[in-house]
């Protein structure tokens, strides 16, 4: 896929992140005859997942196989280059556009920047949980709930997060236990509503998980009691994989996602985002759609800038307006 270019080459677009969002954007932009560089660190959120679900025509495909197919499709476009490596920093260039520095020291210049780096899941602090993650411990019931429908399920979470995940899981099973691993931080009304819906609350501290080959069988508590469960779903805060959006001065929403407007444009002219860093609906197919929308907006902006420069000689930066956060 790599196409040899001078180190000083100006790319139309650099896409940071090679997941569904980034590669969908690259496909749209590649077909729009744009010079596109994808920089991917090789750390997908789905590192532990065995299958990707809820993606039409690709339901159940292994994430690694999906990425391989996507890159194969992008190889058809000689104006699209894929480069393994992390983008360490980005800043606005004095001549316009952006100057990026990769972890190997290389510098890259581009007119537009699309950040599609995604997030990392913070696993619950349960000893040995990593062995079950992606096999019987999950963060998304829309992705993995169907495979465990009508089975005994556990939720790990406290406060609003635990309450909402418990409420959501009732669509897949009526046997749900909320394990808060200590004080649940729920209101009296929330406790009442959970009970009325058949959700059992356990505030006992968790000692560990018991199972075989990543398949959960029991949750063991510090008081010696055990709870038979077939899967656990958790809702804990996620961490952004890249500080680029914050370092460039992008605005963020109250839930920690990057604030964006039309075509996933950020508050920083020339910078767009797509995928889970927006912290909206976190499904692969939605991330791909956001990447496509961002690519449409980016190409539209580039076309308008080029048209204006050729017509009048003026250099403008075309960028959709992003509404400021409510006070």
What is the H or E stretch that residue 100 is in? strand 98-102
pLDDT digits 0-9 by tens, 295-326: 999 999 999 999 999 999 999 999 998 887 65
Query: Are 14 and 113 part of one and the same domain?
Result: yes
pLDDT at 325: 66
Residue 290 counted as domain residue: yes
Q: Which two tokens stand for residue 256?
A: 């920690």
Residue 321 counted as domain residue: no
What is the H or E stretch that residue 164 is in? helix 159-169
pLDDT at 70: 97
Q: Which two tokens stand for residue 268?
A: 């920083």
pLDDT at 237: 86
pLDDT digits 0-9 by tens, 69-94: 999 999 999 999 999 999 999 999 98
Average pLDDT, the chain: 94
Range of the domain at 286: 10-120+238-312
* Cα–Cα distance measured from residue 176 to residue 192, given in angstroms and rounded to the nearest whole number: 15
Domain end call among 180, 214, 234: 234
Indicate the burial class of 321 (C-beta count within 10 angstroms; 0-12, 13-18, 19 or more): exposed
Q: Beta partners for 100?
A: 90, 108
Alpha carbon 252 to its chain centroid, in Å, reads 15
Nearest-10 Cα torsion for 23, 273, 245, 33: 60
What pTM does this model have?
0.93
Alpha carbon 160 to its chain centroid, in Å, reads 21
Report how far apart the first and last C-alpha atoms of the chain are (Å, whole number): 47
* Cα–Cα distance measured from residue 32 to residue 295, given in angstroms and rounded to the nearest whole number: 9
Query: Are 196 and 260 part of one and the same domain?
Result: no
Contact 234, 244 (CB under 8 A): no
Task: Give the up-direction half-sphere exposure of residue 137: CA atoms within 13 A in the CB hemisphere.
Answer: 29
Residue 29 counted as domain residue: yes
pLDDT at 5: 45
Domain end call among 214, 234, 254: 234
pLDDT digits 0-9 by tens, 87-131: 999 999 988 999 999 999 999 999 999 999 999 899 999 999 999
Domain end call among 192, 207, 234: 234
């Amino acid at each position: 896929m790599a196409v040899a270019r001078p180190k000083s080459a100006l790319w139309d677009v650099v896409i940071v992140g090679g997941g569904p969002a980034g590669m969908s954007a690259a496909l749209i932009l590649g077909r729009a005859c744009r010079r596109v560089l994808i920089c991917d660190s090789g750390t997908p959120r789905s590192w532990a997942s065995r299958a990707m679900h809820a993606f039409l025509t690709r339901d159940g495909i292994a994430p690694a196989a999906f990425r391989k197919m996507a890159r194969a499709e992008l190889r058809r476009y000689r104006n699209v280059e894929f480069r393994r490596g992390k983008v360490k920093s980005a800043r606005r260039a004095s001549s316009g556009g952006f100057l990026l520095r990769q972890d190997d020291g290389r510098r890259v210049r581009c007119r537009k920047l699309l950040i599609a780096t995604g997030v990392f899941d913070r696993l619950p602090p349960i000893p040995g949980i990593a062995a079950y993650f992606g096999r019987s411990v999950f963060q998304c019931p829309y992705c993995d709930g169907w495979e465990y429908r009508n089975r005994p399920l556990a939720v790990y979470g406290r406060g609003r997060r635990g309450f909402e995940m418990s409420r959501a899981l009732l669509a897949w099973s009526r046997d749900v236990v909320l394990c808060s691993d200590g004080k649940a931080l729920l209101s009296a009304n929330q406790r009442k509503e959970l009970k009325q819906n058949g959700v059992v609350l356990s505030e006992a501290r968790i000692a560990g998980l018991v199972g075989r080959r990543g398949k959960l069988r029991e949750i063991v508590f510090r008081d010696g009691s055990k709870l038979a469960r077939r899967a656990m779903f958790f809702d804990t805060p996620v961490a952004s994989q890249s500080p680029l959006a914050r370092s460039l001065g992008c605005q963020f929403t109250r839930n920690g996602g990057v604030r964006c407007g039309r075509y996933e444009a950020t508050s920083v002219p020339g910078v767009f985002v797509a995928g889970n860093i927006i912290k909206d609906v976190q499904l692969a197919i939605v991330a791909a759609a956001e990447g496509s929308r961002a690519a449409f907006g980016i190409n539209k902006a580039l076309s308008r800038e080029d048209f204006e420069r050729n017509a009048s000689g003026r250099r403008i930066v075309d960028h959709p307006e992003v509404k400021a956060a409510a006070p």
